[in-house]
Amino acid sequence: MAAQSKLMEAAINCSCRDYLHPWTSSCVNAAAGIMLTTIPTAFRTYTMVYLFALIVRMRIPTLKDLKRTIEGIFKSTAFLTTNAYGFNLCVCLFRLMLGRFYFSTIAYIPTFVASIISLFIERPERRTPLALYVANVSTESLWKMLEARGIVRSIPNGQVLVLGCSITALLYMYRLGVHQTKVKDATFKALQLLIGKEEQGPIKESPPKRSSQQPLNFSNISAYVQLYQRLRNTKHHSCPHRLGCSSYAVVGGLKPFLGGVGVQVGLKLLLSIPNMIKMKMDWRKQIFNKGNLKLGLALGSYSLLYKMISCGLRHSCGYDSALFAIPAGLLGSIGLLQFPNITISMYVMWKALQLLYNWGHEEGVLPNIPYFNMILYSACTALLFHCAILEPSSMRSSYYKFLMDISGTRLCRFDISPFDAYGLGGQGQRSDVIKRLKIDMSQALPKIPLVV
């Protein structure tokens, strides 16, 4: 007990220099160093983001577009830089004001304050996408933290269940037609590519049609040809599509399959541009690869199952309903087992929650919370910084590497050994992460240390 008490006392009385910037005695120099380190990395990152956004529009940019893009790059660079050096300043400031460290002031509260301040620099229309992105990453980290504590337990293909429920919620709104009036968002355009325009609401009632088909005489070979034609062309009067139900389902599954394969091959080729330039590209391995089929199979089978089940429910019930999107969407999720991806699942979940909230607000069911996107971003970013510093094994590897680049390897140089008194084992976790990610720690100092 006495040893534990001494460890806790060392953690509380630790100075900001010992913890945050052991290479310099000046808090201002430490913040200035991380600012100078972050600027080029942030500028490079957002240049790629904004240029990609221009390319996706698939049109020649105007002078107005180029001006807006340049302004966006500089604003976003300033936002991310402020977030980085603001964290450093806030840690030192809270340590100075309080005279000691508390568990919440090691990373969480300083990051929250720095994030709120930095968001006022960023363009308002960028705040919600930023909040959804960090919410995506932080949800995964929070789950791993809770799992490490034995509070929750992962189930096999749990991410597929989350993704299936999220897409089902979006499809229900799509079939109701709220995306055309109350909740307009680009996400529904992606659903349109997956499911098709025919399934979008609001649902229109169609009068029943009398069947004029004659009974088939199977003693004649032509009857089997007629049976095939009927199976291919038959559709219920409430079905919104023109083709027969079977043709509609098959064609509807084939298009997303080809699109998914094309996306995966395209991304692999894009990432292989350096090898292509060096003439070291293994075309056969990159293009003719079974892994390239996974996304296409997931999208294609989901669309196929969704349309088959929707048409089956219309035939069985005799009418069309937006509620049919729920069983069709959930059962169609079986196809998503071909491509389980936690990142996509978390993003679609948060997007669905956002659109459901917007819908509820438009209907007057849910209240409007001022600056909610800023609060969400700050809370999630603060959780990510807490994970990166005290529980790095709970963080997604790609985001940890991103923070390492932004900080100029400072993240792995913070002396967090005093805070092992809280029982998180952050020092050991960080050593494991450095080895697993093969991070180069051969340099004695971080980038631009401004040593004094």
Check residue 389 and give its pLDDT.
94
Radius of gyration in angstroms for the set of CA atoms belonging to the chain, rounded to a whole number? 27
Q: Which helix (H) or strand (E) holds 402?
A: helix 397-407
pLDDT in tens, 68-87: 999 999 999 999 999 999 99
pLDDT in tens, 391-430: 999 999 999 999 999 999 999 999 998 888 888 888 899 9
Check residue 324 and give its pLDDT.
92
Beta strand extents in 143-186 (DSSP E only): none
More confident residue, 235 or 173: 173
Check residue 218 and give its pLDDT.
52
Distances in Å between the alpha carbon of 394 and those of 385, 412, 422?
11, 15, 16
- Tokens representing 345 are 């699942």
- Evaluate if residue 244 carries a pLDDT over 90: no
Check residue 280 and give its pLDDT.
67
Mean pLDDT over 141-169 rounds to 92
- Evaluate if residue 181 carries a pLDDT over 90: no
Q: Which residues contact 127 (CB under 8 A, 6 or more apart)?
A: 119, 373, 374, 377
pLDDT in tens, 85-141: 999 999 999 999 998 899 999 999 999 999 999 999 999 999 999 999 999 999 999
Measured CA angle at 259 (ends 255, 260), to 5 deg: 120
Cα gap 209→306, rounded to integer Å? 25
In the chain, DSSP finds a helix count (H) and a strand count (E) of 18, 0
pTM of this prediction exceeds 0.75: yes
Cα gap 96→328, rounded to integer Å? 58
- Evaluate if residue 212 carries a pLDDT over 70: no
- Evaluate if residue 223 carries a pLDDT over 60: no
Check residue 215 and give its pLDDT.
58
Residue appearing with tokens 């005093």? 418
Cα gap 73→61, rounded to integer Å? 16
The candidate with the shortest Cα–Cα distance to 412, out of 424, 400, 423, is 400
CA–chain centroid gap for 211, Å, is: 49
Q: Other CB atoms closer than 10 Å to residue 81's CB: what's the count?
A: 23
More confident residue, 241 or 29: 29
The candidate with the shortest Cα–Cα distance to 81, out of 48, 47, 38, is 38
Cα gap 166→184, rounded to integer Å? 17
- Evaluate if residue 214 carries a pLDDT over 60: no
Crossing angle of the two packed helices 397-407 and 426-437, in degrees rounded to 10:
90
Check residue 182 and give its pLDDT.
82
Q: Other CB atoms closer than 10 Å to residue 7's CB: what's the count?
A: 17
The candidate with the shortest Cα–Cα distance to 329, out of 170, 168, 162, 117, is 168
The values of phi and psi at residue 208, to 5°, are: -65, 145
Residue 87 one-letter amino acid = F
Provide the terminal-to-terminal Cα distance of the chain, rounded to the nearest Å. Answer: 39
Mark 155-192 as b/e (b = at least 16 C-beta within 10 Å): eeeebbbbbbbbbbbbbbbbbbebbeeebeeebbeebe
Beta strand extents in 44-181 (DSSP E only): none
Q: Other CB atoms closer than 10 Å to residue 149's CB: what's the count?
A: 9
Q: Which residues contact 179 (CB under 8 A, 6 or more apart)?
A: 173, 185, 188, 200
pLDDT in tens, 257-270: 988 888 887 777 76
Mean pLDDT over 200-207 rounds to 76
Cα gap 119→126, rounded to integer Å? 9
Residues listed for the chain: 452
pLDDT in tens, 320-339: 899 999 999 999 999 999 88
Crossing angle of the two packed helices 63-98 and 397-407, in degrees rounded to 10:
80
Check residue 165 and give its pLDDT.
94
Check residue 63 and give its pLDDT.
87
* Cα atoms found within 13 Å of the Cα of residue 425, Cβ hemisphere only: 10
Residue 346 near residue 136, CB atoms below 8 Å: yes
More confident residue, 422 or 230: 422
The values of phi and psi at residue 442, to 5°, are: -70, -25
Lowest mean pLDDT among 13-22, 110-119, 137-146: 13-22
Residue appearing with tokens 């008194």? 421
- Mean pLDDT rounded to a whole number for the chain: 86
Burial of 319 (0-12, 13-18, 19+ CB in 10 A): middle
- Tokens representing 99 are 């005279």
Cα gap 348→169, rounded to integer Å? 10
Residue 171 near residue 188, CB atoms below 8 Å: no
Beta strand extents in 103-176 (DSSP E only): none
Distances in Å between the alpha carbon of 178 and those of 181, 356, 360, 363?
5, 10, 11, 11
